[in-house]
Structure 1
Amino acid sequence: MLIREAEADDWPRIWPFWHRIVAAGETYAWDPDTTEEAARALWMAPVKRVYVAEDDSGAVVGSAYVMPNYGGPAARIANAGFMVDPDRAGEGIGRALAEHVLAVAKAAGYRGMVFNAVVETNPAVTLWTSLGFTILGTVPGAYEHPRFGRVGLHIMYRAL
């Protein structure tokens, strides 16, 4: 698997799984009806360093970004987002992207990484804790999950 910085022409290969994941409404606190134009502006924003994971055939199977979570004196705390094509779940793509983004963030001078809204039922919580993230707190009942009803949103952190 190759992980590289995304280019503008990667978006049409990211959008199908981005849309599928967000429309499912199970893991991201983004509007499930987000248009492709709005999604592109959100995921590929200039402030973000965006990456794609390609399999051996060159297919884009995942994407991630890293950016400052705060501004000013707190700008050395990163935030990141990750999406893996649901058809490729369980292949280690998410872990590879996470390890890559953590290394990139540390090399860029970030001192830590925070996730602001991890749906507590998201299977990725297991991945994040295995990579050293801790749950700082949970906003109870903050997320309207389509299968589980109201669930909490974790705030997770890891020093770099």
Structure 2
Amino acid sequence: MRIREFTEADWPGVWPIVRDVVRAGETFTYDPRMTAEQAYEIWVESAPGLTVVAVEDDRLLGTAKMGPNRPGPGSHVSTASFMVAADVRGRGVGTALCRYAVDWARRHGYAGMQFNAVAESNERAVALYQRHGFAVVGTVPGAFAHPALGRVGLHVMYHEF
């Protein structure tokens, strides 16, 4: 598997991953009815941010976006988001994307990385992030409407570099 910078030609492969993750409604706070155009505007970062794809044998396995968490006085802290195709989850794609994003943020001089809204029910992601140095620094109770579990908390997670 190789991680490389997103190109416009990748969008037809990225969109189904984003669409399926968002429509499942289990992990991201995005509107499940979002269109490809709306998703593109949210997912594809412009400088100083970056969007990448994980590929293997010309197949797109996952994608990540990263950049400053907030503008201005908050721009010294980075953020990132990750999506992996359903049929390759558990094969290390998310781990590779997370490592890439953390390394990218360190190389670009960020003081740390903050995840703003990790559904507490997304136990695999929470565990992955904790293995990579992130800690839950707060939880907003009931802030995420999970389609099967009802309202669950949203974690704010942070990793200081």
TM-score, structure 2 as length reference: 0.96
Q: Partner amino acid for 1:37?
A: E
- Residue 45 of structure 2 contacts residue 65 of structure 2 at CA under 8 Å; is this kept in 1? no
1:25-40 matched pairs, under 5 angstroms: 25-40=25-40
Q: Find the counterpart in structure 1 of residue 74 from structure 2.
A: 74
Alpha-carbon distance between aligned partners in 2 of 1:7 and 1:157, rounded to the nearest angstrom:
29
Cα deviation, residue 46, structure 1:
1.7
1:11-160 matched pairs, under 5 angstroms: 11-47=11-47, 48-55=49-56, 57-122=57-122, 123-160=124-161
Cα deviation, residue 33, structure 1:
0.6
Cα deviation, residue 76, structure 1:
1.1
- Residue 45 of structure 2 contacts residue 66 of structure 2 at CA under 8 Å; is this kept in 1? no
RMSD between aligned residues: 0.9
Alpha-carbon distance between aligned partners in 1 of 2:67 and 2:3, rounded to the nearest angstrom:
17
Cα deviation, residue 89, structure 1:
0.3
4+ aligned runs moved over 6 Å, structure 1? none
Cα deviation, residue 72, structure 1:
1.6
Alpha-carbon distance between aligned partners in 2 of 1:45 and 1:159, rounded to the nearest angstrom:
23
Alpha-carbon distance between aligned partners in 2 of 1:91 and 1:158, rounded to the nearest angstrom:
24
Cα deviation, residue 129, structure 1:
0.6
- Residue 77 of structure 2 contacts residue 114 of structure 2 at CA under 8 Å; is this kept in 1? yes
Gaps of 5+ in 2: none
Alpha-carbon distance between aligned partners in 1 of 2:127 and 2:13, rounded to the nearest angstrom:
27
Alpha-carbon distance between aligned partners in 2 of 1:121 and 1:52, rounded to the nearest angstrom:
25
The number of aligned residues is 159
Question: Could you say what secondary structure the match of 1:13 adopts?
Answer: helix
Cα deviation, residue 73, structure 1:
2.6
Alpha-carbon distance between aligned partners in 2 of 1:76 and 1:4, rounded to the nearest angstrom:
24
TM-score, structure 1 as length reference: 0.97
Alpha-carbon distance between aligned partners in 2 of 1:74 and 1:138, rounded to the nearest angstrom:
20
Gaps of 5+ in 1: none
Alpha-carbon distance between aligned partners in 2 of 1:45 and 1:34, rounded to the nearest angstrom:
17
